[in-house]
Amino acid sequence: MDTTVMADDLREKIIANPDVLLEDVDVMRALVGANDENQGGNVVDLRAIAMDRLTARFDRLEDTHRTVIAAAYDNLAGTNQVHRAILRMMDADTFPQFLTDLSGEVADILRVDAIRLVLESTDPDALTNNAETVAVMPEGYVDGYITLGRNMPARQVTLREFQKIGGSLYGERAPYIKTEACLKVDLGPDRMPAMLVMGSEDPHLFTAQQGTDLLTFFAGVFERVVRRWLA
């Protein structure tokens, strides 16, 4: 094989498209290394030092870029998930169907293992009327559950590790629930506080470090839908 022809061919390709060579970090590092060997050990090449620093900075930027892209995809997936759950929630023709969908298909879309709507009541008879999706609790229960009994305002959305305090809300699933989302909902000026709790067996699904914008939006739609059924 004629190496001169091969060398000329490679030279023409580099001249025609030099950006390919300049953007290849490994090739540029090899060229700088060959240049260092020709100079000897007693010569300091500031360009090589600068390139090493730029390469390190480029690697860090690439890592940051990947992290941002991954977060964007996760956020987009979460947005689509919440939108699908809302659309399914709004499809119900009756309130019983709405409650069935809530603990069924809506829970499946949101990938949670349990959903419970908690209502407060001062009627002792109502406290024993608990269904699969709805739990009726005494006055003050919602704020006390969200704050774990602490003297502090109850946030609209609280994401946390399940404390096992509300085992009765999850029934037989309680031993397996690891994290939960507590959504405080306002069902109208003449109604007592209410709450939607979502429990998951995934220990990482709901954490305090996560953003709450999507679940805040979900809670706002949920309370408006329930108000319509209760009107």
pLDDT(47) > 80:
no
Domain 93-230 grouped into CATH 1.10.10.10: no
Pick the residue with more confidence: 28 or 151? 151
Banded pLDDT at 14 (limits 50, 70, 90): confident
Banded pLDDT at 211 (limits 50, 70, 90): confident
Arithmetic mean of pLDDT, 88-92: 91
Q: Where are the domains of the chain?
A: 93-230
Q: Identify the pLDDT of residue 179.
A: 94
Q: Identify the pLDDT of residue 46.
A: 57
Proportion of the chain above pLDDT 70, given as a percent: 74
pLDDT(151) > 80:
yes
Banded pLDDT at 1 (limits 50, 70, 90): very low
Query: If DSSP states are collapsed to H, E and C, what string results for the chain?
Result: CCHHHHHHHHHHHHHHCHHHHHCCHHHHHHHHHHHHHHHCCCCCCHHHHHHHHHHHHHHHHHHHHHHHHHHHHHHHHHHHHHHHHHHHHHCCCCHHHHHHHHHHHHHHHHCCCEEEEEEEECCCCHHHCCCCCEEEEECCHHHHHHHCCCCCCCCCEEEEECCCCCHHHHHHHHHHCCEEEEEEECCCCCCCCEEEEEEECCCCCCCCCCCCHHHHHHHHHHHHHHHHHHC
pLDDT(131) > 60:
yes
Average pLDDT value over all residues in the chain: 81
